Structure 1
Amino acid sequence: MENISKKIYEVLEESCNSCKSNLISLSGGLDSSIIAYFLKEKNPRSVAIISEDFVSTDLTYCQMISKEMKIPLSIYNVPTSIILDAIDNTIKILKNFNDIEIRNNVVMYLAMKWAKENNEKSIITGDGADELFAGYNFLINKPEKELENEIKRLCSIMHFPTQKIGKALGIEIESPFLNQNMIELANQIPTNVKVKEENGKRYGKWILRKTFEKYIPHQIAWREKSPMQEGAGTVGLTNLFESIISEESYVERKLTVEKEDGVVIRSRESMYYYKIFKKMFGSPVDNNSQETCPYCKHEVKNSKFCRMCGAFPI
């Protein structure tokens, strides 16, 4: 295991040091904290997106890593009105009404918008670590062989909306975990050290945590996976839409959309996003494909997840 950790350290160090950007998207999670550790000598800046009106989990952790690494941190406290405006632009860029993807990536949209407004031309993200090292919570309790196959599947279809958002805003995205040497190394690492028990609890990204627990605060090294939507607080959008769209209005609009568009809307939040999407792009229904999502009728290829509407499993 020491050899694996040594190699991970070396490859990530080289990958991080090759980054030209001076700005880190800092959540205080494992991945961005590792990046902060390697780049601290370059005196970078960092930014964290925190919802002003919803509960967020990142604030304490990103402040902790900022203090530990002596990296200046700008906290962008975002009111709901700005988040809702950003949702329109995120949907315009991503061209879907996928509630999970929008809740998560509106955070990155806001980070890149902040970067642009503060004259930054690029930003560093932790994209790729969850796919390569089994960071997602739904992977943790899978049997080893199934886990191995699922990691391979995820890595074969992984895509990062941050790239699309960055391109749209003119911000270059640098992702050290997606360096080709890092990808090749991760593919060689045994599954049983990607997910493993520590102090009676199973963790994804175990080998990353173990490798860097001596370099970053222990609370961060062993922090549970927290999606961007929880860290920044945009998960609160779900309850917001539940409260502002009445049951009667939702049911009426749901039936209308199903009748007129052939699209099954699964939540009030999806309804809100779908209305924006349809105004911009029209119907998502793909009549020419043999493999389509049972809900939105958009094409899906070799996936249990519909990127258009967010349905899972399909």
Structure 2
Amino acid sequence: MPSMDTEAAYVRQLFSEVLSSSEALACDAVLLSGGLDTSIASETLKQLAGSQLRKAITVTIDPAQNELAKSHGLFIQEPQDVVYARKIAERLGLDHHVLTPTLDELFFTASGESTLELCVGVRQTFDGMELRNAVVIAHALKYAKSIGCQRVCTGDGADELFAGYSFMQGMSDEDLQKYTLNMVKTMSFCAVPLAKALGLEVWSPFLDPRVIEYATTRGNSRELKVGLFEGAQHGKLVLRMAFPEVVSAGRKKEPIECGCGTTVMPALAELAVSDREFENEAKEALDKYGIVVRDKERLVYFRTFNRVVLLGKDPGQLQAGSSDACPDCKFRLRDGTSFCSVCGLYPARPIVRD
């Protein structure tokens, strides 16, 4: 196997080629989370001749929301996305738009279609993990459209391909290789359909076929994806080694919901929904649709799902036959995955291991 230095140089050249494409150079904005992935994409792209990248958009929850949660005795990790994003935008001279919506603005109220309604309708889901992330992306994309952006760069795909998630980092080399190959078949990102619904385009260098091919062939080994960087254990090791100079080279992976602050939603839903409301509405969902609503946060989202997806429709036509159905929501499971994209149940079918 080639040395890490050789692989890092190869990856750096590969991304230079990918980011030199007409699709990449046409990106006029980046959804700048401040993580490693958007740090690499924006800092590399901005250096290339012909790049149209001028704007960066970062979403972080209104700080008052954290104070509200803390007043109820809830532990809140301070969002870090904006800290790193500001450093990147300043380094690159980007016009940086920092959005600070309240949770109410993201999940409930808006003029016209709410952000939550857009996400539920496009993604056909009431899963908390999906929606805590999707509303942030949708809010940023809606703003991008409002300021005239046409093609937006994201960092989608890096975690799936290069072992960015902590659970992947604990796998053996053989299991990680198999899991990565399966991820390529099943991974799905909300930015693409949300952008399409809004009349925008999104693009990510990590979803370029050349990068996917590298991550699943020559670069598909734990040794290249997991290891020490700046004294700490990280995933996406070869990316960090290829771009050690970027602002977020040593930043640990944080889900979108942690980086921007929507991770507080499950706890706030516990405060907002009474036990009686949950009992009555969960029973109604089970009796009417055969759908199990497992917690109060999902109930908050199911109310929108019921109105946007289910209302006025025959559930028998929407839901799957027993062989392909999620046991909790009865919707069809995607091929090759044990995770239900509608309600979030895992495992929704038996996990088969070789």
TM-score range, shorter chain: over 0.9
State the one-letter code of the partner of 2:60. I
- Per-residue displacement from partner, 1:209-241 (whole Å, max 9, x unpaired)? 12211x213xx2121111111111111222221
Query: What is the CA–CA distance in structure 2 between the aligned matches of 1:138 and 1:295, rounded to whole Å?
Result: 24
Work out whether residues 172 and 222 of structure 2, in 8 Å CA contact, stay in contact via their aligned partners in 1.
Answer: no
Q: Kindly report which structure 2 residues correspond to 1:192-211, keeping only aligned pairs within 5 A, or say none.
A: 192-198=223-229, 201-211=232-242
1:255: how far off? Answer: 2.2
State the one-letter code of the partner of 2:340. C
Q: Kindly report which structure 2 residues correspond to 1:151-170, keeping only aligned pairs within 5 A, or say none.
A: 151-170=180-199
Moved more, 13-22 or 118-127: 13-22
Work out whether residues 135 and 205 of structure 1, in 8 Å CA contact, stay in contact via their aligned partners in 2.
Answer: yes
Moved more, 220-229 or 195-204: 195-204
**Match for residue 244 of structure 1?**
272
Query: What is the CA–CA distance in structure 2 between the aligned matches of 1:64 and 1:151, rounded to whole Å?
Result: 32
Of 131, 155, 164 in structure 2, the residue corresponding to residue 126 of structure 1 is: 155
**Match for residue 292 of structure 1?**
325
Secondary structure class of the residue paired with 2:262:
coil
Q: Is structure 2 residue 44 aligned with structure 1 residue 21?
A: no
Length-normalised TM-score, structure 2: 0.83
Query: What is the CA–CA distance in structure 2 between the aligned matches of 1:148 and 1:287, rounded to whole Å?
Result: 31
Residues 287 and 211 of structure 1: CA distance in aligned 2, closer, same or farther (over 3 Å): closer
- Per-residue displacement from partner, 1:149-190 (whole Å, max 9, x unpaired)? 111111121111211001000011111111111111122212
State the one-letter code of the partner of 1:231. G
Q: Kindly report which structure 2 residues correspond to 1:165-314, keeping only aligned pairs within 5 A, or say none.
A: 165-187=194-216, 188-189=218-219, 190-198=221-229, 201-213=232-244, 215-217=245-247, 220-282=248-310, 283=315, 286-300=319-333, 301-314=335-348
Of 2, 5, 10 in structure 2, the residue corresponding to residue 2 of structure 1 is: 5
Secondary structure class of the residue paired with 1:235:
helix
Moved more, 121-130 or 137-146: 137-146
Secondary structure class of the residue paired with 2:171:
coil
Secondary structure class of the residue paired with 1:307:
coil
1:260: how far off? Answer: 2.4
Work out whether residues 40 and 70 of structure 1, in 8 Å CA contact, stay in contact via their aligned partners in 2.
Answer: no
Secondary structure class of the residue paired with 1:36:
helix
Moved more, 248-257 or 95-104: 248-257
Secondary structure class of the residue paired with 1:281:
helix
Moved more, 276-285 or 30-39: 276-285
**Match for residue 39 of structure 2?**
33
Query: What is the CA–CA distance in structure 1 between the aligned matches of 2:229 and 2:124, rounded to whole Å?
Result: 41
- Structure 2: runs of 5+ lacking an equivalent: 67-77, 108-113, 349-354
Secondary structure class of the residue paired with 1:177:
helix
Q: Is structure 2 residue 124 aligned with structure 1 residue 95?
A: yes
1:198: how far off? Answer: 4.1
What is the percentage of aligned positions where both structures have the same residue?
A: 28
State the one-letter code of the partner of 2:19. C
Query: What is the CA–CA distance in structure 2 between the aligned matches of 1:74 and 1:228, rounded to whole Å?
Result: 17
Work out whether residues 48 and 111 of structure 1, in 8 Å CA contact, stay in contact via their aligned partners in 2.
Answer: yes
**Match for residue 102 of structure 2?**
79
State the one-letter code of the partner of 2:331. H
1:313: how far off? Answer: 2.5
Work out whether residues 21 and 123 of structure 1, in 8 Å CA contact, stay in contact via their aligned partners in 2.
Answer: yes
State the one-letter code of the partner of 1:256. E
Length-normalised TM-score, structure 1: 0.93
Secondary structure class of the residue paired with 2:253:
coil
1:60: how far off? Answer: 0.7
Query: What is the CA–CA distance in structure 1 between the aligned matches of 2:230 and 2:83, rounded to whole Å?
Result: 24
Secondary structure class of the residue paired with 2:98:
strand
Work out whether residues 33 and 216 of structure 1, in 8 Å CA contact, stay in contact via their aligned partners in 2.
Answer: yes
**Match for residue 57 of structure 1?**
80
Work out whether residues 254 and 265 of structure 1, in 8 Å CA contact, stay in contact via their aligned partners in 2.
Answer: yes
State the one-letter code of the partner of 1:304. S
**Match for residue 110 of structure 2?**
none
- In the alignment of these two chains, the number of paired residues is 311
Moved more, 113-122 or 36-45: 36-45
- Per-residue displacement from partner, 1:78-128 (whole Å, max 9, x unpaired)? 122320231122111112112111111111101110011001111000111
Secondary structure class of the residue paired with 1:126:
coil
